Structure 1
Amino acid sequence: MNIRIRHYFLLLICFIVSSCFRNGANTDGLPVGKRIQLQNVEELYQFLTYDDNRYPLVSLHRGGPASGYPENAIETFSYNASLQPVLVECDVRISKDSALILMHDNTLNRTTTGRGPVNASSLTELKKLRLLDNNKKMTPYRIPTLEEALSWGKGKVIFTLDIKNDVPYEAVINAIRKQRAESSVVIITYSANQAAKVHSLASDIMISASVNNLDDLARLNEKDIPDNRLLAFVGTREADPALTKVLHDHGIMCILGTLGNLDRQADKKGFQVYAGFIDRGADILSTDRPTEAGRALNFYIKKRGITSKFIQ
């Protein structure tokens, strides 16, 4: 065997072994094979409107990276979606030639084999790079475009898109329209003015709005955004029960960011901590520990006999 053949043979073995480790996750307690299935935007409104029998969900922060699975990668989304019904929180940036891609940071350094600002590279240049997992290990996966992700996700997941500052809302909405992905998308906003801007551009698209208090909700109401177009991100600490009640009375579901302190709390005290967050008013958990949160929610759902015609 010559040196070149042996080199490629060893690389092949490494990829096979790493794939075995990636696919060997413990799936006990997870609703493997179930997913969100929506046919149109009216079904999205119905599914994400609060009622007493609402179906609690996991939202994958940055797509749910794990060993061998980098953040903001379609392969990572697919892996997590095979284990349970999920929302996929991911980040939208723009390339030098105005292509919309998925990337959290404004530089390539942390999550890819490249260097430098994201917006200094063309899409062709970006597509030559490999994505790194959280352990800095190179994966076989490439940077996806927003349209590639939307095309993959229809009928499988709901995306919550965190659109970075230099990315025009108009460009994102055009990509959603092109892929006919309105029933698979929620756009994240951080102020009432941002929410109003999105609603003025695309009144049918759902919005995740930051709501930390009743004044935030009042500002959204002043913008004439219908309740059934809204999800409320209530922060990374449990919300005041009075705020949760008002949001629920409006039919608005609450996203609790467990990433950080609340995830660490669950790690120390046990995964059923996540069920407690749901009991106390959260409806969607945005987490860096989707498998553990998923087990807790699956137990919660089974115990209470919760069902949804949109989960199959």
Structure 2
Amino acid sequence: MYKIIVYLLMFFSFITGRTYAQDVKKEINISPSEEILVVSHRADWRNAPENSIQAIQNCINMGVDMIEIDLKRTKDGHLILMHDKTLNRTTTGKGNPEDYTLEEIKSLFLKGGHGQKTRHKVPTFEEVMTLCKGKVMVNVDKGYDYFKEAYAILEKTGTVNQCVMKSDHPYEKVVLENGEVLEKMVFMPVVNLNKESAEKIIDDYIANLKPVAFELVFKDDSPEVLRLIKKVKDSGARIFINTLWPELCGGHDDDRAVELKEPEESWGWVINQGAKLIQTDRPALLLDYLRVNRLHK
């Protein structure tokens, strides 16, 4: 519990303008420039069904800083954790989740990575935020369509400052659709640095919202990509990079670290570019790497 309070102070002090050192320097000697936060993709999906309570609890147990989840809405208006447009791949059901009531969804079972039925059930967003409260931060990936509804649940559970919402839409669209709650939440723009519009999107967000962090996606590590990464870093925003597969991080991915045994060309490289949050499919191994390098407690 103490550890996650420390991380929350560090992360959310960026929003208020206070420095991490001002908040906790007397209690623990960690500089925000040294600490790297680990974000676990679909929680611990290698060892439990993705977007399941067990996968999230596994992440809490191993000391992950943030979990990534996805949202869908049921026929009767409840937000549940679900990545795909249909229930087919991850549950024993078929069809679209919006065609089922929550009671009907709760009668289904989640499938594991082997595609077979498990004992696990589909959780609601409220159940997940209640579990995560005070323990681990939450990154809502596929969930922009439910921005206001998600905010209401965060308010209800007292977890507004523990959840990051994000979107790859430009600032003008996001503020038009969700302006009344945008500045009440932690919002992270997602920018594909290989698109021609990338720099304008970055500039508009910096000028109008000053996001705490940007999620940056890039298929190569060209000089132009490196220039834009530096631009975001120099703005004071934190950099969030996905090392899930090569096309998201210019070839500096998890498998390069683990299978090719080149962690310095993977996680080390993104850290050298200024990444403060790394989303991974290998959370336990990334934590080991960071701890060996004294970049994580």
- The verdict on a shared fold, with TM-score over 0.5 as the criterion, is yes
Q: Deviations over 1:230-262 (max 9, x none)?
A: 321111546633223222222211111111222
Q: Deviations over 1:94-135 (max 9, x none)?
A: 001111000001111101111111111100000111111111
2:199 equivalent to 1:231: no
SS at match of 1:131: coil
* 1:37 corresponds to: 5
Checking the alignment, whether the CA contact within 8 Å between 1:209 and 1:230 is kept in structure 2 is no
Q: Deviations over 1:251-286 (max 9, x none)?
A: 211111111222232233224431332123222111
| Matched letter for residue 283 of structure 1 | K
CA distance in 2, matches of 1:56, 1:160: 16
Q: Which runs of 5+ in 1 are unaligned?
A: 1-32
Match of 1:278 among 267, 271, 283: 271
2:255 equivalent to 1:264: yes
* 1:168 corresponds to: 146
Checking the alignment, whether the CA contact within 8 Å between 1:210 and 1:216 is kept in structure 2 is no
CA distance in 2, matches of 1:238, 1:288: 20
Equivalent runs, 1:198-213 vs 2, <5 Å? 198-211=178-191, 212=193, 213=198
2:244 equivalent to 1:253: no
Mean Cα deviation higher: 203-212 or 120-129: 203-212
CA distance in 1, matches of 2:100, 2:32: 48
2:69 equivalent to 1:102: no
| Distance change >3 Å, CA 238–CA 207, structure 1 → 2 | farther
| Matched letter for residue 130 of structure 2 | S
Checking the alignment, whether the CA contact within 8 Å between 1:191 and 1:209 is kept in structure 2 is yes
TM-score (norm 1): 0.76
* 2:205 corresponds to: 220
Match of 1:46 among 13, 16, 19: 13
Match of 1:142 among 121, 124, 146: 121
1:64 Cα shift? Answer: 2.7
CA distance in 1, matches of 2:64, 2:148: 29
Look at both structures and tell me which one has the larger radius of gyration over its CA atoms: 1
Q: Size of the alignment, in residue pairs?
A: 266
| Matched letter for residue 151 of structure 2 | I
| Matched letter for residue 243 of structure 1 | L
Match of 1:61 among 26, 29, 41: 41
Q: Which has the higher contact order (CA 8 A, sep 6+)?
A: 1
* 2:24 corresponds to: none
1:176 Cα shift? Answer: 1.1
* 1:81 corresponds to: 60
CA distance in 2, matches of 1:237, 1:254: 16
Checking the alignment, whether the CA contact within 8 Å between 1:112 and 1:130 is kept in structure 2 is yes
* 1:119 corresponds to: 98
TM-score (norm 2): 0.80
* 1:291 corresponds to: 284
* 1:72 corresponds to: 51
Checking the alignment, whether the CA contact within 8 Å between 2:44 and 2:58 is kept in structure 1 is no
| Matched letter for residue 229 of structure 2 | T
1:172 Cα shift? Answer: 1.2
Taking every aligned residue pair, what percent have the same amino acid on both sides? Answer: 24
SS at match of 2:237: coil
